Structure 1
Amino acid sequence: MPDPLPNEARAQHAFPPCYVPARYITSDVPGIGGRLKERPEDFLVDEVPLYPPSGSGEHIYLTVQKRLLSTYDMVSIIASHFGVRRKDIGYAGLKDKHAITRQTLSIYAPGRKIEDFKTFAHPSLDIQGATYHNNKLRPGHLRGNRFSIRIRGVEPTQVVHASRVLKQLSASGVPNRVGEQRFGLLENNHAIGAALLRADWQGVCDELLGPCPSFPDINPEAREHYAAGRYSEALQSMPIRARVESVVLNALSKNFSAKGAVNVMDDTLMGFYLSAFQSAVFNAVLDHRIEEGTLGALLPGDVAVKHENFAAFSVDDQTAADPSTARRLSSFEISPSGPMWGSSMKRAADERDRLECEALARAGLTPDDLDAARGRPQGLIDGKRRPLRVPLIDPDCEGGVDEHGPYVRLMFELPRGSFATVVAREIMKPANPKIAGPSDEPGES
């Protein structure tokens, strides 16, 4: 295996995930500061289903509530109890680990009923209901999520500023930024995704396992062992919760090549890193639109999306100037979109396409690179358009004091795929860029 890439060389390949906005769209309202997720009870998430189960079928649908548990650990626990494979478990979306979340799971169990299984008991996971349906629950099969978030370390009177921000976001829409959770504890999941697309196997290993100048205190002993080529020692030093890192280190310790070690990861893990890459480029495009003042406008060359079904259509001069377009934008029937780059993504046109290609180039790739990656397992990202803004649904807020101290509480719903921390960040405008806590995705170590 080649020598790991020096830190200085790694830094040259870095591009920012842009999860902190270059400019808040509510910049005229003072931030209230504060802290998120001091306790799981301060961050509540309720999944809003896309459709009701039919009541019959081969899939058991469970309503579950988890506390301080990742989605992946939850799936493992349920699969073990019901005696099924992990791939027989379906879920509509990932939910925060450092929270209390309620969602639906499906279990493929043909010919069996819930009463055929022994009683379930787990300290961090509760089954609150069961029914049946014909189909497996798949990612994206939800309408959205309802949030109740307490911001701690603030005076309850700061709710006045929170209310102003929520009112503005209700009118303008919430910038559909991909939050810091997507980029991992080292904030480099997107760089790993870019290396996968370039087939830079050594780069993948270095980003995943090497010393990180930005976060030198995260697993330093294991990362120094890796940098020195001592893979067995690195594996022994890596904490058990660093599952992905341990899998790759185990392969390297058995003399796998960098390519062989990377390909030990399954397609789901690969997909998370590729999604992080797409997200970083999208966030950069979003920053440009906010700076440009066109977050809620459609310009010639744009690709618009319908919020109802995410159908995308091209915008020409006539469409942009049509009075009905402004009405549809105002009602959040449609919005401009940004790129989640992939080989089959619908491209913008003219100046809009040029700006999106520039953002991709800053990440070190071109559309031709994505086409070339299409034939590799690590390159199988089709791409899609993501709305640049989303509606803020039924927002409310209150200030108060409980046994844990003062707080400002936020309540709102967002469509699927959108991040509540983006709303919280507009209200808090924190000095510390990272407010969401550890991720529920690869890279948490």
Structure 2
Amino acid sequence: MSSFDFAALARVNTAALNHRCLIRQTPEDFRVEEQLPFEPAGQGPHVMLQITKTDTNTDWLAKQLAQFAGVEEVAIGYAGLKDRHAVTTQWLSVNTEGVTEPDWSAFESDLITINQITRHNKKLKRGVLSGNRFTLNLTVVEGDKQSWESALSQVQKDGVPNYFGEQRFGHQMNNLQAVEQWFQQGRKPKSRTKKGLYLSAARSWLFNLIVSERVKNSNWNQWLKGDVMQLNGSHSCFQSDNDDMQLHDRLAHFDIHPTGPLVGQGDLLSQDDCQQLETTILADWQDWLQALSRQGLKQERRAIRLLPSDFNWQWFDTHLQVSFFLPAGCFATSVLRELAIIEDGSERFSQPLSPSQQK
């Protein structure tokens, strides 16, 4: 069985290994605010609730909201799961057709606050969000302050490798262990939810390995012959065989980014040197590639460079506060790993719980 070590993935700034800090010493140290790509219509069968929750699981919140509103769980919609050990603000939709709308204020508690109430004509679906705004307090900060400043400035200027965060792979990488049991031993997951979770984890891990290799080769933010480029802020990709000034200028201005594969059926979309690099890394994972292909997944690409927007930081007596915006599907922990070795304070006193458990 393979050994999965997230910490072994390459860092751009090796000075980060000399820095340490603690995140989530309290839920208030990790704040997330979701941003939708649209304004609610103000009318329609779906009540839209913007909720701020503290130390609360999104799935659990959705179940409680369905019970409170007297609707089936399928009537609840949300754009994405938000960190449990945090203070997070997100939108949830409730289809209230056929039921009497309750007094929403009665749903509030010490851990749940409803900020806005409006309506919309559609259910809020997973993945329909622009991104998230993070405000993070890093405590127990260790390391030379000037070195920290250099690392912060480098992230602000050059961005970071767009790794899938460690949370994608489960506690102690358990999701990847389950993938191994499925792909190599035939232990197929029983639920559709777990199947999707494991397939996502498998593709994400292979992507991370390729990103790590490009970081080691110092070309994670450069054009490589045969690369597939992605337009910033979109999923639109194109192949460019022209090593010209215009391409390098667009790269330098973050208009386009190199990509790595989310593997599936068929051949890699890259060519030449880029394809050779990807093929070499994937050579030891043939069982996974064949299994992913059998599941009918299509070849896709994901940017391997991430530039946090509106990246700022401020030093306080007891902590360092870092704030930034990330597009949907990107991970704050992938930004933090370019700054320091991170310890998660929420794991000091408790073990992760299943989605059916609140806290």
Which is worse superposed, 83-92 or 357-366?
357-366
CA-to-aligned-CA distance 1:184-205 (integer Å, 9 cap, x gap): 113131232344355711xxxx
Paired position in structure 2 for 1:313: 238
- Aligned residues of 2:60 and 2:355 also touching (Cα < 8 A): no
Instruction: For 1:283-362, list aligned pairs within 5 A.
Output: 283-316=208-241, 318=242, 321-343=243-265, 347-362=269-284
Paired position in structure 2 for 1:190: 176
Paired position in structure 1 for 2:71: 84
2:309 partner amino acid: I
Paired position in structure 2 for 1:393: 309
In 1, Cα distance between equivalents of 2:356 and 2:50: 28
CA shift in 2, pair 1:161/1:106, >3 Å? farther
Instruction: For 1:222-241, list aligned pairs within 5 A.
Output: none
CA shift in 2, pair 1:21/1:90, >3 Å? farther
Paired position in structure 2 for 1:14: 2
CA shift in 2, pair 1:158/1:443, >3 Å? farther
Paired position in structure 1 for 2:33: 46
1:305 partner amino acid: Q
CA-to-aligned-CA distance 1:28-74 (integer Å, 9 cap, x gap): 46743121111001111111221211212222211011111112111
1:273 corresponds, among 189, 198, 209, to 198
Paired position in structure 1 for 2:340: 428
2:179 partner amino acid: G
CA shift in 2, pair 1:114/1:307, >3 Å? farther
CA-to-aligned-CA distance 1:332-368 (integer Å, 9 cap, x gap): 1210111122227862223322332343343352644
In 2, Cα distance between equivalents of 1:34 and 1:283: 23
Paired position in structure 1 for 2:295: 373
- Aligned residues of 2:269 and 2:299 also touching (Cα < 8 A): no
In 1, Cα distance between equivalents of 2:289 and 2:79: 30
1:362 partner amino acid: D
Matched, 1:410 2:322: yes
In 2, Cα distance between equivalents of 1:332 and 1:111: 49
Runs of at least 4 residues off by over 4 Å: 111-118, 157-160, 434-445
CA shift in 2, pair 1:74/1:344, >3 Å? farther
- Aligned residues of 2:26 and 2:346 also touching (Cα < 8 A): no
In 2, Cα distance between equivalents of 1:43 and 1:24: 23
CA shift in 2, pair 1:118/1:344, >3 Å? farther
CA shift in 2, pair 1:331/1:139, >3 Å? farther
Over alpha carbons, which structure has the higher Rg? 1
Paired position in structure 2 for 1:211: none
In 2, Cα distance between equivalents of 1:85 and 1:111: 12
> How much is the aligned-residue C-alpha RMSD, in angstroms?
2.9
Instruction: For 1:196-235, list aligned pairs within 5 A.
Output: 196-197=182-183, 200-201=186-187
In 1, Cα distance between equivalents of 2:223 and 2:239: 10
CA-to-aligned-CA distance 1:249-308 (integer Å, 9 cap, x gap): xxxxxxxxxx5xx32x2x222211211111111111011000111111121221111122
Paired position in structure 1 for 2:19: 32
1:158 shift after superposition: 5.5
Number of residue-to-residue matches in the alignment: 355
Give the SS at the match of 1:423: helix
TM-score by length of 2: 0.88
The unaligned stretches of length 5 or more in structure 1 are 1-12, 202-258, 375-380
Give the SS at the match of 1:122: coil
1:441 shift after superposition: 7.4
In 1, Cα distance between equivalents of 2:32 and 2:53: 10
Give the SS at the match of 2:277: helix
- Aligned residues of 1:70 and 1:440 also touching (Cα < 8 A): no
In 1, Cα distance between equivalents of 2:132 and 2:257: 20
1:384 partner amino acid: E
Matched, 1:170 2:181: no
- Aligned residues of 1:183 and 1:443 also touching (Cα < 8 A): no
2:300 corresponds, among 353, 378, 384, to 384
- Aligned residues of 1:114 and 1:130 also touching (Cα < 8 A): no
Paired position in structure 2 for 1:132: 119
In 2, Cα distance between equivalents of 1:393 and 1:441: 32
2:316 partner amino acid: G
Give the SS at the match of 1:351: helix
Give the SS at the match of 1:280: helix
- Aligned residues of 1:38 and 1:152 also touching (Cα < 8 A): yes
CA shift in 2, pair 1:387/1:69, >3 Å? same
- Aligned residues of 1:36 and 1:151 also touching (Cα < 8 A): yes
- Aligned residues of 2:259 and 2:303 also touching (Cα < 8 A): yes
TM-score by length of 1: 0.72
